[in-house]
Amino acid sequence: MSSQVLSAQVTTEPELGAWIRFLRAHAAVTRELSARLEAQHGLTLSDFDVLVQLYYADGRKLRRVDLARTVLLTASGITRLLDGLERAGWVAKARCDSDARVTYAVLTGAGVEKFEAAQATHRADVEELFGSRFSDEERGTLAELLGRLPLAETSPACTGEGENA
């Protein structure tokens, strides 16, 4: 192959350097990663993200609002995403006795299997395209630095606890 590519031309601007790299890195890595996830398991990155959250959630269910907030999608985004997972039979709806407005998203048995099947290869892919580029220490640094970025401004209301029935 030829030496360097034009793609390396991130040097347009000094101040935005890190930001541009951030954008490009995200575009490149997620493109490849989601292509693999789609090909191997028929899942979107967001789909997977939602499955992870549900899998590790208490009772394997979560309110849709909370899901939206942690995965950083809008409410309508979550509705449509879950639509797909529900059609596939991996997630089901559950009503909440104490509050008729809320609907839970519950991981079904099939959903658990699906996640466990997808998990391994996806984890390996992330490791290959992302993690393996860094030492453990660097990984920590990266996580710490990225963790400083604002996650969401939306009024937290900071409740945190929604008790179920």
Partner DNA sequence: GGTATATACTTGCGGTGTCAAAGATCTTAG
Partner DNA sequence: CTAAGATCTTTGACACCGCAAGTATATACC
Does residue 17 interact with a second copy by CB under 8 A?
Answer: yes
Does residue 78 interact with DNA by CB under 7 A?
Answer: yes
Indicate the SS3 state at residue 70.
helix
d(CA 53, CA 70): 8
Contact characters 28-67, DNA, x per CB under 7 A? ---x---x--------xxxx---------------xxx--
d(CA 64, CA 16): 36
Residue 6 interacts with which of DNA, a second copy, none, CB < 5 to 8 Å by class: a second copy
Structure tokens that stand for 53 in this block: 């959250």
Nearest to 61 by CA among 97, 108, 98, 101: 108
Does residue 95 interact with a second copy by CB under 8 A?
Answer: no
For the chain, the straight-line distance linking the first and the last C-alpha, in angstroms and rounded, comes to 62
Binding a second copy (rule: CB under 8 A), the pick from 39, 100, 120, 149 is 149
The torsion angles phi and psi of 14, rounded to 5 degrees, stand at -70, -50
**Residues contacting 72, CB < 8 A, separation 6+:** 151, 152
Residues 138-157 that bind DNA (CB under 7 A): 155, 157
- List interacting residues with DNA (CB under 7 A): 27, 31, 35, 44-47, 63-65, 68, 72-82, 84, 93, 99-104, 155, 157, 159, 162
- List interacting residues with a second copy (CB under 8 A): 1-10, 12-13, 15-32, 45, 49, 52-53, 56, 66, 69-70, 72, 123, 126-127, 129-131, 133-134, 138-143, 145-153, 155-161
